[in-house]
């Protein structure tokens, strides 16, 4: 039988089926909305070619989809999870990421307004336990004037689960074809 015969035996399982056309819709899971339809529905009904398929609706995938849509490039995002986390994950956004968000219709300013006051998070302390000895500390806001020379925007303290919600809102506002 050999390997090719083995594969041919399963070919009926993987045979291409006609694509289902559907209008965009979202299912609500918690506080986030996730795509619940095929990715092939576009205004010009040309679903034979999708130039970009983004796997993962994390911060990078959502930002990439927003930027590509603004450039007029068709894309779609696939996410395996039915919902996004409601727990804090990554929370520090560096200057370069904030510069990208600055280009997304004021997203950087919205993050700056929504983050906790700078004095509550500017200094990171590293230790072995909550009561253990301090191994070191870093003040992320020093020197103040140097940061403005390096970048026009400031670093931010903003949890990833909140960032995902903002990016989804921006994606809807950008009128992405799959939203």
pLDDT at 150 over 70: yes
What's the predicted TM-score (pTM) here?
0.64
* Average pLDDT of span 174-179: 56
Q: How far is CA 127 from the centre of its chain?
A: 31
Contact 82, 137 (CB under 8 A): no
Strand, coil or helix: what is 127?
A: strand
Tokens standing for residue 139: 């003040």
Secondary element (H or E) of residue 165: helix 160-173
pLDDT at 130 over 60: yes
> Which residues have a Cβ under 8 Å from the Cβ of 143 and sit 6 or more positions away?
none
Residue 91, pLDDT above cutoff 90: no
Q: How far out from the chain centre does Cα 26 lie?
A: 17
What number is the average pLDDT over the span 70-91?
83
d(CA 68, CA 176) in angstroms, rounded, equals: 9
Rounded distance between C-alpha atoms, residue 165 and residue 32, angstroms: 7
Distance in angstroms (rounded) separating the CA atoms of residues 5 and 96: 52
Burial of 156 (0-12, 13-18, 19+ CB in 10 A): buried
Question: Distance between CA 135 and CA 127 in Å, rounded?
Answer: 5
pLDDT at 32: 38
- Given pLDDT bands bounded at 50, 70 and 90, which one contains residue 27? very low
- Looking up tokens 């590293």, which residue turns up? 126
- Residue 15 clears pLDDT 50, i.e. is over it: no
């Amino acid at each position: 039988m050999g390997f090719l015969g083995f594969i041919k035996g399963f070919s009926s399982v993987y045979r291409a089926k006609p694509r289902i056309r559907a209008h965009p819709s979202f299912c609500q899971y918690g506080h986030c909305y996730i795509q619940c339809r095929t990715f092939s529905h576009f205004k010009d009904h040309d679903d034979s070619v999708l130039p970009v398929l983004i796997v993962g609706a994390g911060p990078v995938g959502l930002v990439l989809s927003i930027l590509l849509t603004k450039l007029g490039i068709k894309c779609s995002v696939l996410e395996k999870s039915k919902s996004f986390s409601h727990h804090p994950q990554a929370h520090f956004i560096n200057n370069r990421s904030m510069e990208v968000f600055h280009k997304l219709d004021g997203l950087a300013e919205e993050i700056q307004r929504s983050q906790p006051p700078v004095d509550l998070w500017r200094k990171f302390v590293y230790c072995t336990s909550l009561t253990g000895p301090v191994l070191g500390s870093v003040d992320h806001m020093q020197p103040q004037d140097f940061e403005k020379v390096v970048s026009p925007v400031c670093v931010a303290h903003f949890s990833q689960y909140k960032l995902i919600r903002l990016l989804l809102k921006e994606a809807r506002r950008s009128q992405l074809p799959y939203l």
